[in-house]
Amino acid sequence: MDNNSFKKFLNSYKILLVHSQLFGLITFSYTETNFRPSNLRFIYNVLLSGCTLSLVACYLHMTMTQEIPIIYKAISVLYMGMYGIYLMTIWICSLINRHKVKEMLSMIIDFDIMLQTSCIIIDYGKSKRRMLIQLLGRYCVLMLPTSSYLGLYVINSNYDYSVIKQLN
């Protein structure tokens, strides 16, 4: 693998690789020479899964013991159940397919080298900016439903349902 091409590729996609490592989507580390397997990332995914499952269980227990209408309890259980299943599926697949992802990234770099030998130049700065904008957009989209759900939870937990019980 050409070292200069790898450094150019790594410089432009480093944001995405750091993002993927933080969220446990890839379980290998990148260096200045190649992609290397990382047992620390493997253990990180297992610990992250255990911590997330315990937080989901704690949240569900708190939701079920509150005196709120059953519809809110059902929605909370469905939401957190789907969230937990979604995260566990992603992390298990990342653990299983980490070698395939490394191979795919190596093939992308080889393809880039072939393009450069054919005098087709890729603008790495433009792709880096585009990737940064897409990641920021994903974070905004991710935060909107989560913040609205947390807001509804705070409003519902502070609402006095004794008035509704007296009316019935």
pLDDT score of 8: 75
State the Cα–Cα distance between residues 74 and 71, nearest whole angstrom.
5
**Could you report the per-residue pLDDT of 8-45, keeping only the tens digit for each?**
777 777 777 877 777 777 777 777 667 777 777 778 77
Domain that holds residue 114: 3-167
124: CB partners within 8 A, 6+ apart: 8, 9, 11, 12
Stretch 123-142: mean pLDDT: 80
pLDDT digits (tens, 9 = 90+) for 36-52: 777 777 787 778 778 87
Type of residue found at 50: G
Confidence of residue 146 (pLDDT cuts 50, 70, 90): low
Q: What is the pLDDT of residues 54-111, one digit of tens each?
A: 887 887 788 788 777 788 788 878 887 887 788 788 878 877 887 888 888 888 878 8
Q: Supply angle C-alpha 28, 35, 118, rounded to 5.
A: 140
119 torsion bin: left (phi>0), alpha (psi -120 to 50), beta (else): left
pLDDT in the model for residue 161:
55
Question: How many distinct structural domains can be found in the chain?
Answer: 1
pLDDT of residue 163: 53
Looking at residue 136, what DSSP letter applies? H
